[in-house]
Amino acid sequence: MTRRVIVYLGLVFGLMSLVGCQSGPVPIKPKGTVNVALETGKKVTTIGLKVEHLLVVTLPPVPPGLSWQIAFHDSRYLKQVSDLKPASVVDAGATISFVSLVRGKTRLRFLLVPTGNDREARPVDQQELVLEIQ
């Protein structure tokens, strides 16, 4: 009798774990959108942002042979929802999107580096975005 109960409970818990694995985390639906365009001459930009809002960052345009990369991103505060997308129009910069998760202060840092596979390329420029999430 005890064996049957143990086998039965094992089957029940096994089925429950399989069902749980099928479902993923609930996607966050942004309650609003904040667009930020970073400027070439201004290296540090500070903005305020509310929790569960979409942040769309537009980086300054770059000449051919250079590209922006993310150098720092704290995933406790921001969830990246898109990769760096190159500009679709001339004289526009690449864009990237995040969703704010919790209150606090965090930073996003971007480096402008020569395009290619050189891991030790020195940055040409940098941009920093300071976010105060409320």
Residue 39: DSSP 8-state: -
What's the predicted TM-score (pTM) here? 0.77
Asked if CATH classification 2.40.128.120 holds for the domain at 27-133, the reply, yes or no, is: no
Position 59, amino acid: L
Full pLDDT tens readout for the chain, 134 residues:
677 767 676 666 665 665 555 566 667 789 999 999 999 989 999 999 999 999 999 999 998 889 999 999 999 999 999 999 887 777 789 999 999 999 999 999 999 999 876 677 788 999 999 999 99
Strand order in the sheet with 104-114: 44-49, 125-133, 104-114, 66-73
Per-domain residue ranges of the chain: 27-133
